[in-house]
Structure 1
Amino acid sequence: MKKFAFTLLLLLFVLVIPEHGQAAAGTNKIFLDGRELTAGQDVPVENVNNSVMVPLRMIAENLGYKVDWNQKSKTVTIEQQGKTIKLIVDQTAASVDDKTVILQTAPLLRGGTTLVPIRFIGEQFGLTVTWDNVQKIVNLITPEAAGNNTGNDGNAGDGGTSVVVPPSETTNGLAMVNGLSFNENRLTIAMDGSSVPKVSKITGPDRIVIDLPNATFSDLFGTGQVLDPNLNGSLAVTDYPDVSGIRYSLYSTSPYTVRFVIDLNHAKNYSVEVTGDSSKLVVIDLNAQSTEDTATLPGNNGRKLVVLDAGHGAKDSGAVGVTGKYEKNFNLAIVLKAAELLKKENNIDVVLTRSDDTFLELKDRAAMANNLKADLFISVHANSSGSSAASGTETYYQRADSKAFANVMHKYLVQATGLSDRGVRYGNFHVIRETTMPAVLLEAGYLSNKKDESQLFTESLQNKVAESIVKGIKEYLGL
């Protein structure tokens, strides 16, 4: 049992060694409870950028956990005693039980062998990891042998690994920032918990600073946005002449404060709107004429507000087609096209749950629509089946007050796809169950069907589907 428990520990660790910037191969050794691990060491252990990297095969053959290697995606999956770790070659973003972790050094390939950072796994599975810099030895000690397991010692450095959120014992009671988006000249920040934003306008250069006190980043944030090991990141902004970019960081830990900075090309007014209870949206609207102007916020101007949801995103690809195409890309393409068309409608405002390849939890998608008090919610998807013969278009509703909306949307969607009509159906999907306005989930076609997939990824069909969404919305709203 002892040996079995240590198996997984060896997989993902990052051990800091005071030899910076070098790849020193062949001189480092690994000991588990005093026994040197050598089996499977076809490629030498390396010190890469202060991280001890070991062959995956060496770990798999010495320790007893389940290891899976996906050649196509270059993903390593390690499972033991209910815990799952995933890491990808050449990517510093890894996950532990679907929680994002940022590694100092990404896994890499050497002569067809995958090398992984050693320290991280040891910490995840309870091993004590120490480094003997004189003899160049990594010591892994099981909890039974170590007594008090600290997962670190004075010679091991900081491990080179940063979990996207601070330890849970330090974040109790803090608001959790889950994600952000920028579209229609509005910055929208999604968070859970209580935090009152402090917003200020600064010159030299021009920028707007948004501080969220008593807050930190949640593990969800790192799945959709970039966070470096110091919990800093940025969002590129294009096609908006007022804004050059957006930066964000865990600005302080005493007290905890998350800061967003909108870098402006010139001075700009703004308004601030906070909606929701436990799940909140903070909207910084650069369309405002003054800080008191809320009429420019979506739905506050007498126009109808529609929320478009592109299903899946980022790490969640959704269905994978017969030729390897991802559902998430189809969904986003449709939503972006439909949004551009809706912007031309004088009586409709549109908000997107995501406008790029980011990940949002289902509850955050529903909360966004509810907090904004949207009039309609539409989630766009493509289907999949275990049978390659399955084909056609479906529309789902969950609540009775959504059925009429589903009937209208389905009529136009079937016309647009030209695929077989599989009808309007009841479906207990989270985003159409937990929203409070008429809500539908559209399944345009089946990616598991070669013919459907080939059509869904054509520009002409995507344009037709986007147009059908606008037609359905307008008919249902009587516009």
Structure 2
Amino acid sequence: MKVILNPGHSTTAPGRTGPTGITEREVVEAMARHLATACGQRMIATEIMQQPPGDPQEALRWLAARIADEPYDVDITLSLHCAWAEDPAAYGTRCLYAAGSNESRLLADALLRHFPRTAWSAVDSCDDPVLDHAQCPAVIIELDHLSNPEVEGLMRVESWQRKVAENIVEGIIAFIGPQDIRILVDGAEIYTDPAPQEVYNDVMVPVRVLGTALGAEVRWDPSRRVIRIATGGRRHDS
């Protein structure tokens, strides 16, 4: 399971600026880091892919081409942005998808279900080069309204960022659905590739995935055909 994370905007095209000076780029870059961490805790691989500085249109074309060239093992593409409204009281999350992409619409619906519904939250279609070129379900998620001074203040708070990241991960999991055999580590579901398999009344699970989820270091020594698992306790070098 792999997700492409695109924090919208760049140093030369920072997007909107909130009432007290925080830029859209600052918000979405911080969110991309928190989201990558939250996905990693569920064994969902991520790659952060951001457009380069320079001419905004050229940068978008470059990003769209990169996403279009991604291999087919990418399952989801998320482009992170902030919403904006003339009404400074507006708040809520918006999820946008490419018109005609039913899978992307279903992903947008799954994501929005994990956020509070407001008069300004919505799922809608749009024309966007990043979404149009994605080879998988792709959504722009506008985290909340940067135009709202109270929301802008929350966007600076790490606990808010972590909570939003968790909501997005829950939406991803709701979209892809549980594996046939579910693995819960301290109550949180993790994903493995390949999926767990039942064999002779037991279950086969990738060692690295399970070891990492339990906080162990797993290393494969192909020359000696040995898997080494370090848990922080006693170590044997044989």
The answer as to 2:101 corresponding to 1:376 is no
Deviation, structure 1 residue 419: 6.0
SS at match of 2:9: coil
Aligned residue in 2 for 1:140? none
Match for 2:14: what amino acid?
A: S
Deviation, structure 1 residue 385: 2.6
Deviation, structure 1 residue 370: 2.7
The answer as to 2:134 corresponding to 1:435 is yes
Aligned residue in 2 for 1:407? 109
Larger Rg, first or second structure (1 or 2) = 1
Aligned residue in 1 for 2:205? none
1:330 to 7, 27, 33: 27
The answer as to 2:165 corresponding to 1:466 is yes
Match for 2:69: what amino acid?
A: N
Aligned residue in 1 for 2:39? 342
Q: 1:81-100 counterparts in 2 under 5 A?
A: none
Structure-1 separation of matches of 2:122 and 2:86? 20
Aligned residue in 2 for 1:352? 48
Cα pair 2:67 2:133 within 8 Å, conserved: no
Match for 2:108: what amino acid?
A: A
Percent sequence identity is 28
Aligned residue in 2 for 1:367? 65
SS at match of 2:47: strand
SS at match of 1:389: coil
**Which deviations, in whole Å up to 9, do the C-alpha atoms of 1:73-118 show, x marking residues without a partner?**
xxxxxxxxxxxxxxxxxxxxxxxxxxxxxxxxxxxxxxxxxxxxxx
Match for 1:364: what amino acid?
A: W
Structure-1 separation of matches of 2:11 and 2:159? 25
Q: 1:88-237 counterparts in 2 under 5 A?
A: none
The one of the two structures with greater contact order (alpha-carbon pairs below 8 A, sep at least 6) is 2
Structure-1 separation of matches of 2:122 and 2:95? 7
**Which deviations, in whole Å up to 9, do the C-alpha atoms of 1:377-434 show, x marking residues without a partner?**
001111223332333221111123311011001111x24xx86552211111221122
TM-score normalized with structure 1 length = 0.34
Match for 2:169: what amino acid?
A: V
Structure-1 separation of matches of 2:60 and 2:120? 27
Cα pair 1:392 1:452 within 8 Å, conserved: no
SS at match of 1:343: helix
Structure-2 separation of matches of 1:367 and 1:358? 13
May I ask how many residue pairs the two structures share in their alignment?
A: 170
Structure-1 separation of matches of 2:28 and 2:53? 13
TM-score normalized with structure 2 length = 0.65
Structure-1 separation of matches of 2:47 and 2:83? 24
Q: 1:235-254 counterparts in 2 under 5 A?
A: none
**Which deviations, in whole Å up to 9, do the C-alpha atoms of 1:338-373 show, x marking residues without a partner?**
111222333x3211103xx95382233233333223
Deviation, structure 1 residue 437: 1.1
Cα pair 2:94 2:144 within 8 Å, conserved: yes
Structure-1 separation of matches of 2:150 and 2:87? 13
Match for 2:173: what amino acid?
A: K
Structure-1 separation of matches of 2:69 and 2:175? 22
Aligned residue in 1 for 2:184? none
For the structure 1 residues 436 and 321, does the alpha-carbon distance in structure 2 shift closer, same or farther, using more than 3 Å as the test? Answer: same
Cα pair 1:307 1:352 within 8 Å, conserved: yes
Where do 5+ consecutive residues of structure 1 fail to align?
A: 1-303
1:385 to 72, 82, 85: 85
Cα pair 2:67 2:130 within 8 Å, conserved: no
Structure-2 separation of matches of 1:421 and 1:388? 12
Where do 5+ consecutive residues of structure 2 fail to align?
A: 179-238
For the structure 1 residues 365 and 468, does the alpha-carbon distance in structure 2 shift closer, same or farther, using more than 3 Å as the test? Answer: farther
The answer as to 2:16 corresponding to 1:319 is yes
Structure-2 separation of matches of 1:319 and 1:458? 19
SS at match of 2:121: strand
Cα pair 1:392 1:419 within 8 Å, conserved: yes
More strand by share: 1
**Which deviations, in whole Å up to 9, do the C-alpha atoms of 1:238-291 show, x marking residues without a partner?**
xxxxxxxxxxxxxxxxxxxxxxxxxxxxxxxxxxxxxxxxxxxxxxxxxxxxxx
CA RMSD of aligned residues (A): 2.1
